[in-house]
Amino acid sequence: MDESARISNRWTIREVLQWTADYFRQKGIESARLDAEALLAHALGADRLYLYLNLDKPLSQRERDKYRELVARRARREPVALITGRKEFWSINLRVLPGVLIPRPETELLAQATLDEIRELRRPRILDIGAGSGAVAIAVAHERPDARVIASDRDPVAARLTWMNAKDTDTAEHMSVLVADLFSCFRPGLHFHVICSNPPYVRDDELMTLAPEIVQFEPRSALAAGPDGLDVIRAIACRAREFLAERGALILEMGAGQEKAVREIFRSAGLDKEIAVFKDLAGIPRVVKGRG
């Protein structure tokens, strides 16, 4: 019996979840149970708590049919966020779109470092380069409505998504969104208290070794950055001082194993005052901060 027929024969939420989790594990999906729950909640227009409060509730044929379609997409390794069109970041429910990098939990460390940096400042100015979905810029604007946040991305689709998310989250009045490649839209003399970015930092030869969800469904331009993965970090760091206010900080996300090289890039760019590195929950150095 194929998977479509098998899942059609399941009736309750409990049984459907168990079967789907087992099926996803067979497909090599690590977050099998969590993904099964997220997709079923989406199919039912509910949240995961509803599932646990109704484990013995039978599903209608229409509900099973809708869920089966979602399961088939996930089995082909399409990310859950693209299937549901949503991803939570900083407890904010953001839209996601194909072709734009899906926000990662570890990037919340970048948002936190930025917020910590501006904690004592009045009306701080922040530039988020390569904003993607707008996750970091929106988190900062949400926490600090007095800040002036500029979010830029060279991809018009990403910039449009950032603006949609800003409007959805009532942060648009505190933000500007630009289509720009790095500093291309800015003239020296415009100074920011923080320039932050989650830039591409994957080595070109490493990209194809990543999970199918990334290789098949996420934009290469938002991931790969040259032979050592540091091309974009270098490009940002080498011009950041032109656009930083006095004692302003450059704060960047980086990849595992890149700390030493990124520290050297910051030193070469004259951003070696008070260099600080922050580790993610896995203990990996993930975010670096420096001043000029």
**Residues of the chain scoring pLDDT < 50:** 1, 5, 7-8
Asked if residue 87 is part of any domain, the answer here is no
- Cβ atoms 133, 161 nearer than 8 A: yes
Residues 190 and 252 in one domain: yes
Q: How many domains does the chain have?
A: 2
Residue 144 lies in a domain: yes
Name every residue whose Cβ is closer than 8 Å to that of residue 41 and which is 6 or more positions away in sequence. Answer: 47, 48, 50, 51
pLDDT recorded at residue 11: 78
Indicate if 20 and 70 belong to the same structural domain. Answer: yes
Quick one: 72 and 101 in the same domain?
A: no
Residue 125 CA, distance from chain mean position: 22
134 within 8 A of 150, measured Cβ to Cβ: no
- At 44 the pLDDT is 97
* Domain stops at, among 47, 76, 105: 76
CATH of the domain at 34: 1.10.8.10
Report the pLDDT value the prediction gives residue 10, as an integer from 0 to 100: 54
- 71, with CB counted inside 10 A (0-12, 13-18, 19+), is buried
pLDDT in tens, 83-130: 999 999 999 999 999 999 999 999 999 999 999 999 999 999 999 999
Tokens coding 15:
């049984």
Q: How far apart are the C-alpha atoms of 74 and 37, rounded to whole Å?
A: 12
Domain that holds residue 70: 3-76
Q: What is the pTM of this model?
A: 0.92
Distance separating alpha carbons of residues 250 and 267, to the nearest angstrom: 12
Query: What is the structure's pLDDT at 5?
Result: 47
Among 42, 76, 110, residue at a domain's last position: 76
Are 178 and 185 spatial neighbours (Cβ–Cβ below 8 Å)? Answer: yes
Specify if 7 maps to a domain.
yes
Q: Which residues contact 283 (CB under 8 A, 6 or more apart)?
A: none
